[in-house]
């Protein structure tokens, strides 16, 4: 009998196939004591296992490229954390085996992070994966992971570690469903990059029996268990219709009546450029530069290395717009040479622009490298600061840009509610705004973007979040300046129409989402988008906002 479940759709498309579960987690190693004379040997085993796991994560990152590479390199750095390794060796010195020492040291660190209010819940999930990989290697057992299958299937898991998600084979993994995670988790972002339909935060996902036939709608978040032939046909027809619409939709982003809405790509480095160009991106709306700094957590990359990487991206978009976000370090992206190690709430501490203003030499080098990378190129370079709280922040960033001789537009990201509420003040110092809806939702609702339990509050359809978008867009319009969206909200085709109706002037997203947004936007006039936006804001929940906008656009 067909039943319907609902999670959070995070990657467009429909997948129909049998359930295959991820392998079970690594068993807890026995707590046996070793003689003192074996401690040195066990410490050596632990070090070798850590080095092997770090090397494997780096290799996976090199294979995956793009956003996945940055995530996996961060995990490799976590595996080699000197404080963690020192704790492992201390435990072995007093009688633990290598595997037990690793298990207990990681458990202790995990408790420390969880005790800080789970602000680093995403880091906790990654930490668990690193621990499992090291323990599995020490025990000599295979690392639990993606099932071995010759037939395509839908992957079901409690959660997916970045190392698993990054190298999924889309020809075998039709889609995936997880019990944990949220719309802005690492796995969700990587699923969109792969173009694999995905639903996260589905309660009871683990209870779906192995081999059960399910249909996954990554747009709506619906899961149909034992779907009827009629339901399969409906979903397949809808998917085919979407595919045809995508193929027919080309050129710049615009509404049906010709109102231009540039569609830009979010990229993590040069490896993401090809997909963006192929998808018809009109430029880059968010160039995350963290990938360069994750190569070595002990020191910043040289000016020469930065120039080479930036120029690769700038050259790919002649006459196009490229918006670069300067380094956003802190919170879930700590760097040993920049960020404090003992902050009680890192997401609320020294992060983003605050970090750079504390280390002006790092900011100056990055801005100088961007200036030199753009020399002689016909690209429209724009540079923006993350985590701008007020006009004082905006002024400090604009001054730093001018001092570095940067000939570009200077902008501010709106990720903190204060920036949206005082957007017009901030625009006295900078020339554009870019809404990072992932963090804006996190800070508006006090809901960690990596915690599945609060995923309803991370939903970008929340009316309060739409209010802040509208405030920012109206401020920019009043000042004759632009206001784009570069957060994950822009990748939802229906929400893209609402954002346009709220006055947003450009939309930036993962390359895989651009054709969906382009095709959907082209179906409606600006007036329809404005009516849909007003209807969404008049509601009191994310679900009602989506339904209200859908009703307006479908003519109900």
Name the residues annotated as catalytic: 186, 486
CB-based contacts of 230: which residues, under 8 Å, 6+ apart? none
- For residue 143, give Cα distances in angstroms to 123, 430, 449: 20, 49, 27
SS3 507: strand
Residue linked to tokens 């504390």? 358
For the chain, the straight-line distance linking the first and the last C-alpha, in angstroms and rounded, comes to 31
Q: Which helix or strand (DSSP H or E) is residue 213 part of?
A: strand 213-217
What whole-number distance in Å separates Cα of residue 258 and Cα of residue 247?
A: 19
What whole-number distance in Å separates Cα of residue 246 and Cα of residue 243?
A: 5
CB-based contacts of 453: which residues, under 8 Å, 6+ apart? none
Three-state secondary structure along 218-253? CCCCEEEECCCHHHHHHHHHHHHHHHHHHHHCCCCC
User: For residues 339 and 330, is the Cβ–Cβ distance under 8 A?
Assistant: yes
What whole-number distance in Å separates Cα of residue 246 and Cα of residue 514?
A: 9
Q: Which helix or strand (DSSP H or E) is residue 414 part of?
A: strand 409-414
């Amino acid at each position: 009998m067909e039943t319907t479940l609902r999670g959070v759709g995070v990657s467009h498309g429909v997948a129909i196939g049998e359930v295959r579960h991820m392998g079970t987690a690594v068993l807890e190693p026995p707590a046996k004591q070793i003689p003192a004379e074996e401690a040195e040997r066990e410490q050596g085993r632990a070090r070798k296992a850590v080095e092997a796991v770090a090397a494997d994560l780096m290799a996976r990152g090199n294979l995956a490229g793009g956003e996945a590479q940055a995530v996996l390199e961060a995990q490799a750095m976590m595996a080699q954390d000197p404080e963690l390794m020192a704790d492992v060796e201390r435990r072995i010195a007093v009688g633990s085996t290598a595997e037990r020492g690793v298990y207990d040291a990681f458990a202790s660190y995990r408790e420390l992070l969880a005790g800080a209010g789970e602000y680093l819940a995403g880091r906790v999930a990654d930490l668990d994966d690193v621990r499992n990989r090291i323990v599995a290697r020490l025990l000599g057992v295979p690392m639990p992971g993606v099932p071995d299958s010759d037939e395509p299937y839908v992957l079901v898991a409690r959660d997916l570690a970045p190392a698993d998600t990054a190298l999924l084979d889309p020809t075998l993994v039709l889609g995936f469903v997880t019990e944990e995670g949220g719309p802005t988790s690492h796995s969700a972002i990587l699923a969109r990059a792969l173009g694999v339909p995905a639903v996260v935060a589905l309660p009871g996902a683990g209870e779906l029996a192995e081999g059960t036939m399910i249909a996954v709608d990554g747009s709506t978040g619906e899961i149909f268990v034992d779907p009827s032939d009629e339901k399969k046909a409906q979903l397949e027809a809808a998917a085919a219709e979407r595919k045809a619409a995508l193929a027919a939709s080309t050129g710049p982003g615009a509404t049906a009546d010709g109102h231009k809405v540039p569609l830009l790509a979010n990229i993590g480095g040069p490896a993401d450029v090809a997909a963006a160009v192929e998808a018809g991106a009109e430029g880059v709306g968010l160039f995350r530069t963290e990938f360069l700094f994750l190569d070595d957590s002990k020191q910043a990359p040289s000016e020469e290395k930065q120039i080479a990487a930036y120029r690769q991206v700038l050259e790919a978009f002649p006459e196009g717009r490229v918006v670069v976000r300067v380094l956003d370090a802190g919170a879930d992206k700590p760097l040993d040479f920049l960020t404090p190690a003992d902050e009680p709430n890192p997401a609320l501490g020294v992060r983003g622009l605050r970090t750079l203003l504390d280390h002006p030499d790092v900011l100056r080098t990055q801005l100088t490298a961007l200036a030199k990378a753009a020399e002689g190129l016909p690209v429209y370079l724009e540079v923006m600061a993350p985590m701008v709280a007020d006009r004082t922040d905006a002024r400090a960033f604009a001054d730093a840009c001018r001092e570095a001789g940067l000939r570009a537009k200077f902008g501010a990201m709106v990720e903190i509610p204060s920036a949206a509420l005082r957007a017009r003040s901030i625009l006295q110092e900078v020339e554009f705004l870019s809404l990072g809806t992932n963090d804006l939702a996190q800070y508006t609702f006090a809901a960690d973007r990596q915690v599945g339990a609060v995923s309803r509050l991370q939903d970008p359809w929340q009316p309060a979040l739409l209010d802040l978008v509208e405030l920012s867009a109206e401020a920019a319009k009043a000042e004759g300046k632009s206001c784009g969206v570069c957060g994950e909200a822009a990748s939802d085709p229906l929400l893209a129409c609402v954002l346009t109706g709220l006055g947003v002037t450009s939309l930036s997203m993962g390359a895989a989402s651009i054709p969906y947004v382009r095709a959907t936007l082209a179906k409606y006039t600006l007036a329809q988008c404005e009516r849909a936006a007003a209807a969404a804001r008049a509601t009191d929940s994310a679900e009602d906002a989506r339904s209200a906008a859908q009703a307006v656009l479908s003519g109900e």
